Each structure stands twice: as C-alpha cells, then as structure tokens.
C-alpha cells in the first residue's frame, strides 16, 4: 500500500487529523520564506504529543543543525524520521546524516528526471519545477517517470483528490506527498479534503 506524507503541517489540529485519517508521515517546513514555515519550538511541541509510532519527516533547507538542536531528538525517541532537502544540495552534502534523507528534485523535463540515478538519498521526492525552492502546487507529465525505479520514489506536485489514484496506478510509487491539494489556505488544512485524499491514495489499486 502506498505511503502518504502530508506536508506543510503548522498546527496540532491538522497533525492529529492527518494521523487519524491514516497519514504515514508529516512534513514540517523550516524554510523562512515559506507561508507554511513553522518554528522549531512549535514543531517540538506538536511532536511531543504525537503517537510514538508515527513516522515524522522534517524538511529543513537551511540551518539544519540549528533546527535539530532545538531538542527535537531528545527524550529517547527519534522525533524526526528524516530530513528532506529542497535546494541544490550536492551528493556530498546529502551523505552522512544519521537520519534518512529525502532529496527533492524539481522535474522540468524528461532529462531532469534522469538525475535521480545514483544520487545518494534514501528516497527521491519528485515535484514540478517552479521558481524558488518551495512546493510548486502543479503537476508535471508523469509519463516522464515511466521506466524509472519507483521503489524509492515519493511523488509530489499538484496531487489532489481527483488525480492521486491515476498517478498511483500509473507509477506505483513508494509514496505520495500532498500539501496544497488539501489546504483551506496556505498552512491550514481542509480536513474534508485531507480525509478524502488519504482514503483515495490508500485505496488506489
């Protein structure tokens, strides 16, 4: 069954609803220009009340050591399961972290999809190209990915209730990532859309 990551979590209510509806991972954004940016201390407060079995994902682009230094790895449990990098990080930069590494690639054309091969990351998150390093909120031709190994692929970019099942059936990715497709406004989730999206993803066969 495909994994579902809900990105751009900024508050406890959205976090708990995502878990209730079956999300496998939550994404916290520490990139200051983003409207979904969350302070490390706020993320810590949310994580402190989440089930210990939940797989959590942090997605800092900058100040990684500072973010992790806010006690987010304290308490005898690993609050963060992985780090997600959205910038122009080199293979050398992505090596050697104690946490899992998800490297985001902005897919602009067929050739850019081929950059994944051999890159040292545990998972590849594929998003549509857009200026800057935030989520694009738009799709790209999924046909560009046909033939690639999808065992480590997390598909993102404009996914919503209407297209997530088609994407999963075509590519069979390890996981899907959603943010804007389940929002009421930037940083705040629409719980109805959130529930429908997770159900649609989990039942895609």
Contacts by 87-91, CB closer than 8 A, 24 or more apart: 87/61, 87/62, 87/133, 91/119, 91/120
Residue 7 designated active-site: yes
Evaluated on CA atoms 49, 42, 183, 146, the torsion sign reads negative
Please list the alpha-helical segments (H only) found in the chain: 12-21, 40-48, 64-68, 91-94, 110-113, 164-171, 191-202
Q: Is 88 a catalytic residue?
A: no
117 burial (CB, 10 Å; 0-12 / 13-18 / 19+) is exposed
| Residue from 14, 24, 127, 177 carrying the catalytic annotation | 127
DSSP code for 140: -
Q: Are 100 and 120 contacting, i.e. CB atoms less than 8 angstroms apart?
A: no
Which of 7, 14, 24, 179 is flagged as catalytic? 7
Active site residues: 7, 127
């Amino acid at each position: 069954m495909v994994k579902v990551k809900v990105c751009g979590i900024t508050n406890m209510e959205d976090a708990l609803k995502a878990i209730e509806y079956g999300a496998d991972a939550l994404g916290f954004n520490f990139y200051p220009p983003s409207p979904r940016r969350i302070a490390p201390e706020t993320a810590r407060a949310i994580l402190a009340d989440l089930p210990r079995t939940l797989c959590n994902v942090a997605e800092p682009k900058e100040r990684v050591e500072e973010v992790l230094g806010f006690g987010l790895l304290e308490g005898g449990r690993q609050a963060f399961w992985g780090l997600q990098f959205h910038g122009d990080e080199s293979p050398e930069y992505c090596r050697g972290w104690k946490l899992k590494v998800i490297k985001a690639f902005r897919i602009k054309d067929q050739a850019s999809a081929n950059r994944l091969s051999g890159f040292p990351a545990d998972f590849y998150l594929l998003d549509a190209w857009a200026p800057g390093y935030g989520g694009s909120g738009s799709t790209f031709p999924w046909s560009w990915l046909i033939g690639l190994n999808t065992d480590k692929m997390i598909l993102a970019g404009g996914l919503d209730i209407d297209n997530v099942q088609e994407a999963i059936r075509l590519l069979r990715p390890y996981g899907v990532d959603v943010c804007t497709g389940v929002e009421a406004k930037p940083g705040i989730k629409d719980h109805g859309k959130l529930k429908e999206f997770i159900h649609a993803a989990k039942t895609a066969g």
